[in-house]
Structure formats: C-alpha cells, structure tokens
Amino acid sequence: MSLTLSDIVLNSLTLLFALLAYLMYKQYSRVNEENIKLIKADAEKESLIKKEALMAAQEAVKSERERLQEETKERRQEFNRTEEKLTRRENTIDEKLQSISDREAKIEQQKDELLDKENELAGLMQKEIEELERISGLSTEDAKKLLLDKLKQDLQQESIQLIRENEMHIKEVSEQKSKEILTTVMQRCLIDQVVESTVSVVQLPSDEMKGRIIGREGRNIRTLETLTGVDLIIDDTPEAVVLSCFDPVKREIAKTALEKLVLDGRIHPVRIEEMVEKSKNEIEQKIFHEGEQAAMDMGVMNLNKELIKTLGRLYYRTSYGQNVLKHSLEVGHIAGMLAAEIGANVAIAKRAGLLHDIGKAVDQTQEGTHIELGVELARKYGEKEAVVHAIEAHHDDVTANTIEAVLVKLADAISAGRPGSRRDTLEIYIKRLQKLEEIATSYEGVKQSFAVQAGREVRVIVQPEKYDDVASAKLARDISKRIEEELDYPGQIRVTVVREVRVTEIAK
C-alpha cells in the first residue's frame, strides 16, 4: 500500500502535536514541583511563626497571671487595713454613743431637779405676792396697772428727750453738711448782678438838641413814641432825655435809636423810622447773641433757636432789680454744682436752672404766670419732661418729684435770697414784716412777736405755763408752715420760739 502526500503530512502533524503535548507536560510537571516546594517552605515558616507566637502568648499569660496575683495580694492587704480602721471607728462611735447616753441621763436628772426648783420658786413667789398684797393693800392687777402707768410716764418723758436729742443731732449734722455744700457752691459761683429800673437816660450834647427831638409841633417826638411804644420825658434836666417804659426791650430800642439820631444830627420822621428799624434789628441780634452766649456759658447744647432767642430777651428783664438772665445763669451754675456734689444729673440740673424763668420773657405780652408760660415754651420746643417738671415745680406750683427739681428750687432760693441780689420797695418790705408778726401773734398763748434781721427771722415769746418744750417745737413748725403758705419772700425765714420762766424771791 502506498502512502499519499496527505497521509504523510497528517502523520507528521500528529507526531508534532504529540511532541508538543509531551513537552508541555514536562514543563507543567516541573513548575508544579517548584510550587509544591514553595508551599512546603511557606508552611514550615508559618508553623515556626505560630510556635513562636504561642510561646510569646504563654509568656504573656504567665506574666499577667503573676501581676494579677501580686495586685490581688496588695488589695487583700489594703482591705484588711480598711477593715481594721472601720473596726476601730465603730468602737469609738460606740464609746461616744455611750457617753451621749450618760449625758442625756444626767440632763434628764438635772431637768427634773430644775422642775422641782421651779415649782418650789413658783410657790415662794405666790406666797411673796400674797404677802405683798396683804402689806400694800393692792391686788396684783392694781399693782400692774400702777406700774404700767409709771412706766408709760417714764417712757413718754424718755421718748420726748430722745426725740429732742435726735432732732438736735440731725439738725446739727444736716446744717453742717448743707453749709459745706452751699458754701462750696457759692464760692465757686461768682456772677455780677445788675440793678436796673424802668427808665433810661440818653445824654445830649446840648440843650438845643431837645428842640430838634421834639420837632415842629412835636411831630418828631410823637413819631418816636409811636414807633417804639416808649414815653420820652423832656424836662429841665440839663443835657438829658428820659425814656420811660415797662418793656425793657422797647426801651432799649428807643434808647439806641435816639442815640443814633443825636449822633447823626438829622432828626425827622423818615429818619426816625429808619433808625428805629435799624435799632430793632440790632437789638434782635443782640438778644440772640446774649441767649446763645448764656447757653454756651452754661454748657447747654441742642437748644432750640426760638428758645435761645426767648432766653436772650431776659437780658433786658429785671425782677426786684435783679437781671433775670444773670439770675438764670447763677441758678443754673448753682444747681449744676449742687447736683455734682450729691451725684444727681448735672446736665438736667443746669438746663432746668437756666430755663426756670424763661416764662418771664413773655409774661408781659401773654396771659398766664411766668411758670405756666415757661412750661408751655419748654414743651413747645421739645425740652425733656424732667426739665419741664423742674420749671413747673421751682415755686411749688406742683410737688417736686425729682432731685433735680428740688435742686433748681434750692438754687433759685439761694440766688434770690443772697444779700444784695434783689431790691424790695419800702411798702412791700413793711407789709411783709407786719404780716410775719401778725401770723405769730395769732396763736393762743403768744405774748409778743418781733420780726428781726430785715425780715429774715421772727422771734415768738410764749407764756411758759401754756407751752412746754414739745408744744414750743410744734408751734415753731406751725408758724413756719403758715409763713410758707401765706407769704411770698426771697430766701428763708427763721422762726424762733422763746419760752422763759423767771422766779424771783426777796431775802429779808
């Protein structure tokens, strides 16, 4: 049988595949053996590591067991020591309880003894009371009443004496402290006072100028009086013309205008009208400047411009001869310093002191008292309620509810009552003295009364049999209250009640 080419190729491929398979088997067998060797080596290493870890764990367990045994031994010893301490404390507590029991028993015994003694003492006291009742002839209730009456009388006398001593002490301390504060404040406040009247005098270069001021048929003087509202008095006084008007601003405008006319020399109705208008503008500027300067001197900020202008009008206003703007500045300074001394609100005290008489700037042209007008102005121009209240209370129209209101009232009295600050007419002065003596003598038991020290003190002499010390003090308070209610006066008035007992005996 002959082989074909395809058979040869097929056989060759078969042999080739068989060879390749054999080679691959040999390679796999060799790789598998190497892997088995590596695995065995890893297993031996892991076995060695586990043995070492097991030995280390056994050592650690042994060490921990020894540590726990040592710690347990120490704790057992500590527990034994604590148990011994507790045992000793228990023994000590038992001893103390036994001692307390002994003391309680002793106290009970002493208590029983005291009860026996109290009963015995009560019996003795009862016997003593019965014996005293027998000797005195008074029952227990009568004796108690007599004793209480005596104690009441003694206590009343002692209370009167104690009240008198306390009043004297309070009076001394308060007078000393108030004098220190007021003296300090008055020394720190020094303001010039200007005494003015309702007339002004304009000096003339010659008497010939009087005729020119009068003018033909009096037309110049009538024009000047009509435009200014001021009366011109031209008499025999050499080289002088007197201006009379109750409104100080109008009087000042007329004075300024007349001085300008005299200086200019041209005096006729048209020129008079020009000068009066010019003088009005100058006075208005001066009024605003004075109000602004007063506010700056007082340190009062954010004051309404209209209120500043109204305040400046006080520069030309007088009260009892005292310049009202100067008085307001003085009151503001004094109130501020008093507030600083006692820790009150200095800003409110100064502001209220400066504005307390603001109503006097318009009281001649509007209806109402200067207090009502001042309160209305302050509220109108946005002043704080504390300032408004101080203005309203500075003459006791309402009760002063704030310390600043009291300080403004006090500062006003200091400024007005300072010697030389105000001027009274003789008639008003005499009437005030007569009214003081009339109030004092209106009380029963008053022998005489005298107004002394220019009306600053009234001395009242009473009948000693009708007034004791307590009644004399009450009389002084009653008289002072009536004076406050019925009289208007600057400053303060002292009331002194004199009670004198004289006993005369003649030795023969």
Q: Give mean pLDDT, residues 305-321.
A: 81
Distance between CA atoms of residues 123 and 36, nearest Å: 125
DSSP 8-class letter at 9: H
109-117's contacts with Cβ under 8 Å and 24+ in sequence apart are none
Mean pLDDT of 255-278: 86
CATH code of residue 472: 3.30.300.30
Shared-domain flag, residues 247 and 379: yes
User: What pLDDT sits at residue 28?
Assistant: 76
Instruction: Return contacts of 404-407, CB within 8 angstroms, 24+ apart.
Output: 404/335, 404/339, 404/344, 404/345, 404/348, 404/349, 404/352, 405/352, 407/335, 407/338, 407/339, 407/342, 407/344, 407/349, 407/353
* pLDDT value of residue 243: 84
Mean pLDDT of 257-280: 86
Residue 249 to residues 232, 274, 294, 318, Cα–Cα distance (Å): 15, 18, 18, 11
Mean per-residue pLDDT, 384-392: 90
pLDDT at 19: 82
∠112-117-122 over CA atoms, to 5°? 125
Q: Please indicate, yes or no, whether residues 411 and 448 belong to a single structural domain of this protein.
A: no
Question: Do 369 and 400 share a domain, yes or no?
Answer: yes
Between helix 305-313 and helix 269-298 the angle, nearest 10°, is: 110
* Domain identity same for 252 and 368: yes
Asked whether residue 142 is assigned to any structural domain, the reply reads: yes
How far apart CA 359 and CA 21 sit, in angstroms, is 135
CB 455 within 8 A of CB 489: yes
The model's pLDDT over 478-508, given as tens digits with 9 standing for 90+, comes to: 999 988 888 877 667 889 999 887 777 888 7
Inside any domain, residue 86: no
**pLDDT above 80 for 195:** no
> With contact defined as beta carbons under 8 Å apart, do 354 and 206 qualify?
no
Same domain, 168 and 284: no
| Lowest model confidence (mean pLDDT) among 23-37, 57-71, 430-444, 447-461 | 23-37
Tell me what pLDDT residue 193 has.
39
End-to-end, the C-alpha distance of the chain in Å comes to: 211
Buried b (16+ CB within 10 A) or exposed e, 271-284: bbeebbeebbeebe
In a domain, 284, yes or no: yes
Given a cut of 70, whether residue 423 has pLDDT beyond it is: no
Are both 224 and 157 inside the same structural domain?
no
What residues make up the domain containing 324? Answer: 199-417
Asked which of 181, 216, 251 is the last residue of a domain, the reply is 181
| Spatial separation of the C-alpha atoms in residues 234 and 285, rounded to whole Å | 29
* Co-location of 176 and 216 in the same domain: no
Q: Which residues does 320 contact at the CB level (< 8 Å), separation at least 6?
A: 416, 422, 423, 424, 490
The number of distinct structural domains making up the chain is 3
pLDDT band at 3 (very low <50, low <70, confident <90, very high): low
CATH number of the domain where residue 396 is located = 3.30.1370.10
HEC letters along 185-235:
HHHHCCCCCCCCCCEEEEECCCCHHHHHHHCHHHHHHHHHHHHHCCEEECC
Work out whether strand 457-462 and strand 446-452 pair parallel, antiparallel, or are unpaired. antiparallel
Instruction: Give the residues across from 217 on adjacent strands.
Output: none
Alpha helix stretches (DSSP H) within 314-425 = 324-342, 346-355, 370-380, 385-393, 403-417
Phi first, then psi, for residue 447 (nearest 5°) are -80, -50
C-alpha 52: how far from chain center: 90
Looking at residue 206, its pLDDT comes to 80
Domain end marker among 417, 446, 462: 417
Choose one of 149, 181, 213: the last residue of a domain: 181
Residue 159 lies in a domain: yes
419 pLDDT higher than 60? no
Query: Are 164 and 229 in a shared domain?
Result: no
Q: Would you list the DSSP string of 474-495?
A: HHHHHHHHHHHHH---SS--EE
> What's the confidence (pLDDT) of residue 1?
45
Q: How confident is the model at residue 39 (pLDDT cuts 50, 70, 90)?
A: confident
Q: Does one domain contain both 242 and 379?
A: yes
Residue 20 lies inside a defined structural domain of this protein = no
The pLDDT of residue 295 is 86
Residue 313: which of 363, 350, 279, 353 has the closest Cα? 363
- 371: pLDDT confidence band, cut at 50, 70 and 90? confident
Q: Does residue 39 lie in a domain region?
A: no
Rounded average pLDDT over 275-301: 87
Task: Give the torsion sign (CA, 148, 150, 153, 158).
Answer: negative
Residue 344 lies in a domain: yes
Say whether both 248 and 397 belong to one domain.
yes
Give the percent of the chain with pLDDT over 90.
2
pLDDT value for 57: 86
222: pLDDT strictly greater than 50? yes
Tell whether 177 and 208 lie within a shared domain: no
Mean pLDDT of 249-272: 85
CB 171 within 8 A of CB 177: no
Question: What pLDDT score does 192 carry?
Answer: 43
Encode pLDDT of 169-179 as tens digits: 777 777 667 66
Residues 342 and 237 in one domain: yes
Q: Taking 80 as the threshold, does the pLDDT of residue 359 lie above it? A: yes
Compute the CA torsion angle 366, 369, 375, 379 (nearest 10 deg).
Answer: -20
User: Is 81 inside any structural domain?
Assistant: no
Question: Hey, what are 351's tokens?
Answer: 């502001």
* 407 vs 199: CA distance, rounded Å: 35
Which is nearest to 231 in space by CA: 243, 221, 220, 240? 243
